[in-house]
Amino acid sequence: MANSETPLLDELEKGEWPSFVKDLKQAAAKKPMARDLMRQLELSYTEKIGHWKHGGIVGVKGYGGGVIGRYSDRPDLFPEVAHFHTMRVNMPTGWFYTTAALRKVCDIWDKHGSGLTNMHGSTGDIILLGTTTDHLQPCFDDLSDAGFDLGGSGSALRTPSACVGPARCEWACIDSLDICYQMTMHYQDQLHRPMFPYKFKIKVSACANDCVASIARADFSIIGTWKGKIEIDQKEVQAYAASGLNIREEVTGFCPTQCMTWDEKARQLKIADEDCTRCMHCINVMPKALRQGKEKGATILVGGKAPILQGAQLSTVIVPFMKLEPPYEELKDLISKIMEWWDENGKMRERLGELINRLGMRTFLRAIGLKPIPQMVRNPRANPYVFFWPEDIQKGGK
Amino acid sequence: MAKTDIGPPNYRNFMPPIIQKNYGKWKYHENPKPGVLKHVAESGDELFSVRAGSPRLMSTDHIREICDIAEKFCGGYLRFTSRHNVEFLLSDRSKVEPLLAELKSKKYLVGGTGHSITSIVHTQGWVHCHTPATDASGPVKAVMDELHGYFTSMTLPSQVRIALACCLNMCGAVHCSDIAILGIHRTVPKPDHNRVPNVCEIPTTVASCPTGAIRPDPKNKSVTINEEKCMYCGNCYTVCPALPLADPDNDGISIWVGGKVSNARSAPKFSKLAIPFLPNNPPRWPETVAAVKNIVETYAKHARKHERMGEWIERVGWERFFRLTGIEFTDKHIDDFTLAPDTYRTTTQFKWG
């Protein structure tokens, strides 16, 4: 290793966890671009500072997004990464692949780019990491021929994502994959051509466990839920108890509404379903014994986001229960109305949740035609600064 | 010209036959060993998923190797999880052990199910971001080298979701993680008055600041930055490369704990500040690794089974969290942003530590 160009990074080849440095080196052996990326990264490790510049509008014909322009700030040292743009490729919903499709993407990326990827980016896209401006269009053309399309970037609909849902999960209350796919197809224009105040994210989780973190980061969160009684298979509950599960401590003791009791003598589990808030804990712990109620649908929440700019927000309930079946007209209608209201009223770089805060939830609800209901709040207001609509006030009073 | 607006390939065509057949008809699942899930359908069919860790930053050759394995054992089908793991999907039980043996021989780590630490969701860092306060892949690798035993086992009280974002823009939405590792800048961008007039458009640069901290500086044909208002988001640097934000001596890492996204038991919650600053110390970030390890081990020792990090902390109280972890509580832990008073204690009920 005496002649290594990257002594610091080499340290990260050691250890048990899969090493990204090995992958960097694999690509560097074939691609001068990957080698310069690695050398620049080594410089960052030495100087404790990044070496990338944003800037320049790069992209493919007909689209306003999907490519992130990136340039080295030391092209003198690392000429191969002077231009090093990322392409975001919309992943197959649920991140399912055939190896044939994956190999095609690899071949295209070896032909046009650095040979390095992220599987996947935080939003869910396949990230093709680094190519030059002249390769963007040919790479897109090849991807399109292979059946792939770019994902979202900038002030656009970002690539929607979904949990594994009904493909492999008994807890799926909605077809998260189909909903995600259909919304992605329906809003292709909004995804590829940034026209919004800022980014807009749609994420679909098929149950309250929320495996795609919809409530934490989606402007529009779709989370599966149910109505009606949890189905109990008492024999299976007893089997769990017999296998050593302490039902009182591990199941009923954690019930947030204390709506369930375990009768040790009769070995019967009882649930007061009208008090259940469908948190999923008991079902998570005893998947063989408990099944969700029969009437399935989704809770719709809006406004979730990471901190930038005015602090992080969780999505908040606007529709407690919506049946979601193809062709999802009610859902599309609601999403479109919200996009329009936000587009009309939002300032530059103002996310939906921040706009709702600025103009008030009551204004938002009225604009999209939703009736206020207690499910929308944790508690009613505690301050007396109530705004009334003009029509609430008696006119011409004495 | 290539077709546009075709959208992603239809996922339905990428699902193995057993999933096509049992789509929406799964009955229950078991987690027979770390990294192995068994899903049983109403039809009686059994699907085995074998989950392996990944560096996320992957070469095409590495992806092809995964394809080789999936072709050998899974009929050419696989998927990735929302936390960057690879999942091999098998309908033939007899192939599970041979697959595990093959993965072991190729040094893949199998795990990330149940009460474990699964892969760390993370951002680009110095590899490809223009406003990072730290690297992403490096600290992730260093932390997971130390904690991989929790990936390949299921011995924790509950799952521990760790995420890393390399600046406060939080591309990775790490703000609801059991443990969030967050890069932070602590000094304002430094306008290069020689370059600003040539490479930046002043009105765009001024408008790019979300807090109105940037003012035109007509004398220098440049801009000035109000240190009181700047929150280090790097947005100005995006539009004006002559406003470098990075500061090798003052950029570093902060640690946040107790967030969750799941609605199970308690409501989803944000991660809260545990450690305001740790230095960037590549290549192995020993201070960060030690801090994360300490928090995980303290949690593992004291939490009840099924309690997530935040649920444990809320039960015992933050005052006890700080005592048990030995982490110093400072004025930086006390909020002074918009909803700060909501976080102050408005009761005489508290513990001595």
**Which 3 state secondary structure label does DSSP give A182?**
helix
A20:B49 CB<8 A: no
Under a CB-based contact definition with an 8 Å cutoff, are residues B152 and B109 in contact?
A: yes
β-bridge mates for residue B165, sequence order: B182
Choose from A21, A96, A141, A236 for mutation: most chain B CBs within 10 A: A96
Q: Give the max Cα distance, chain B.
A: 78
Q: Which residues contact B343 (CB under 8 A, 6 or more apart)?
A: B334, B335
Which pLDDT band holds residue A55 (cuts at 50, 70, 90)? low
**Which 3 state secondary structure label does DSSP give A183?**
helix
The mean pLDDT of B258-280, rounded to a whole number, is 97
Q: How many CB pairs under 8 A join A and B?
A: 349
Contacts of B77 in chain A (CB under 8 A): 96-99
Q: Which residues contact B335 (CB under 8 A, 6 or more apart)?
A: B343
β-bridge mates for residue B121, sequence order: B163
For the stretch A127-150, what's the b/e string if a residue is b when 16 or more beta carbons lie within 10 angstroms of its beta carbon? bbbbbbeebbbebbbbbbeebbbb
**Nearest CA to B259 among B315, B178, B160?**
B178
What is the pLDDT, as a whole number, of residue A1?
46
- Residue A157, chain B, CB below 8 Å: the answer is no
B53:A109 CB<8 A: no
Which pLDDT band holds residue B169 (cuts at 50, 70, 90)? confident
The mean pLDDT of B288-298, rounded to a whole number, is 98
Choose from B10, B126, B243 for mutation: most chain A CBs within 10 A: B126
Rounded Cα distance between B276 and B282, Å, is 19
What is the pLDDT, as a whole number, of residue A397?
63
- Tell me what the pLDDT averaged over chain A comes to: 96
B268:A210 CB<8 A: yes
What is the pLDDT, as a whole number, of residue A2?
56
Which helix (H) or strand (E) segment holds residue A160: the answer is: none
Beta strands in A289-381 (DSSP E): 290-291, 295-302, 316-322
Least confident range of A35-44, A51-60, A96-105, B242-251: A51-60
* Residue A101 one-letter amino acid: A
**Which 3 state secondary structure label does DSSP give B331?**
helix
What is the pLDDT, as a whole number, of residue B337?
83
Q: Which of B24, B66, B174 lies nearest to residue A175, judging by beta carbons?
A: B24
What is the pLDDT, as a whole number, of residue A53?
87
**Which 3 state secondary structure label does DSSP give A352?**
helix
Which pLDDT band holds residue A221 (cuts at 50, 70, 90)? very high
Under a CB-based contact definition with an 8 Å cutoff, are residues A55 and B241 in contact?
A: yes
Tokens 């869910």: give the residue.
A124
Residue of chain B with shortest Cα separation from A129? B128
- Residue A181, chain B, CB below 8 Å: the answer is yes
The mean pLDDT of A172-176, rounded to a whole number, is 98
Under a CB-based contact definition with an 8 Å cutoff, are residues B225 and B188 in contact?
A: yes
- Residue A317, chain B, CB below 8 Å: the answer is no
Percent of chain A clearing pLDDT 90 (strictly above)? 94
- ω before B283 within 30° of 0 (cis)? yes
Under a CB-based contact definition with an 8 Å cutoff, are residues A164 and A212 in contact?
A: no
Which pLDDT band holds residue B173 (cuts at 50, 70, 90)? confident
A209:B262 CB<8 A: yes
- Residue A308, chain B, CB below 8 Å: the answer is yes
B207:A192 CB<8 A: no
- Residue A377, chain B, CB below 8 Å: the answer is no
First-residue to last-residue Cα distance in chain A: 93
Residue of chain B with shortest Cα separation from A137? B2
Q: Which of A141, A149, A168 lies nearest to residue B26, judging by beta carbons?
A: A168
What is the pLDDT, as a whole number, of residue B320?
98
Contacts of B251 in chain A (CB under 8 A): 48-49
Under a CB-based contact definition with an 8 Å cutoff, are residues B266 and A256 in contact?
A: yes
Rounded Cα distance between A333 and A323, Å, is 14
Q: How many Å separate Cα A263 from the centre of its chain?
A: 41
The mean pLDDT of A165-188, rounded to a whole number, is 98
Q: What is the pTM of this model?
A: 0.96
Residue of chain B with shortest Cα separation from A165? B24
Under a CB-based contact definition with an 8 Å cutoff, are residues A302 and A352 in contact?
A: yes
Token pair of A261 as six digits: 């009791």
The total number of residues written for chain B in this structure: 353
The mean pLDDT of B256-264, rounded to a whole number, is 97
Pure H helices in B58-153: 60-74, 96-105, 137-151
Choose from A97, A104, A174, A291 for mutation: most chain B CBs within 10 A: A97
Under a CB-based contact definition with an 8 Å cutoff, are residues B214 and B224 in contact?
A: yes
Burial level of B338, CB count in 10 A (0-12/13-18/19+)? exposed
* Measured CA distances, B67 to A21, A31, A314, B36, B61 (Å): 20, 21, 38, 19, 10
Is pLDDT of A358 > 90? yes
Token pair of B7 as six digits: 């959208």
- For B23-59, the pLDDT digits (tens) are 999 999 999 999 999 999 999 999 999 999 999 999 9
Least confident range of A382-396, B246-260, B283-297: A382-396
| A329-345 helix and A352-359 helix, angle to the nearest 10 degrees | 70
Reported ipTM: the value is: 0.96
Rounded Cα distance between B315 and B322, Å, is 13
Token pair of B103 as six digits: 């993965």
Q: How far is A207 from chain B (nearest CA, A)?
A: 9
* Measured CA distances, A142 to A32, A60, A120, A121, A136 (Å): 22, 12, 20, 21, 10
Under a CB-based contact definition with an 8 Å cutoff, are residues B23 and A168 in contact?
A: no
Contacts of B262 in chain A (CB under 8 A): 208-210, 280
Instruction: Write phi, then psi, for B70 (nearest 5 degrees).
Output: -65, -30
Burial level of A274, CB count in 10 A (0-12/13-18/19+)? exposed
- For B105-162, the pLDDT digits (tens) are 999 999 999 999 999 999 999 999 999 999 999 999 999 999 999 999 999 999 999 9
Positive or negative, the CA dihedral A388, A390, A395, A398 is: positive
What is the pLDDT, as a whole number, of residue B210?
83
Q: Which of B30, B53, B81 lies nearest to residue A17, judging by beta carbons?
A: B53
Q: How far is B33 from chain A (nearest CA, A)?
A: 16
Under a CB-based contact definition with an 8 Å cutoff, are residues B215 and B202 in contact?
A: no
What is the pLDDT, as a whole number, of residue B291?
98
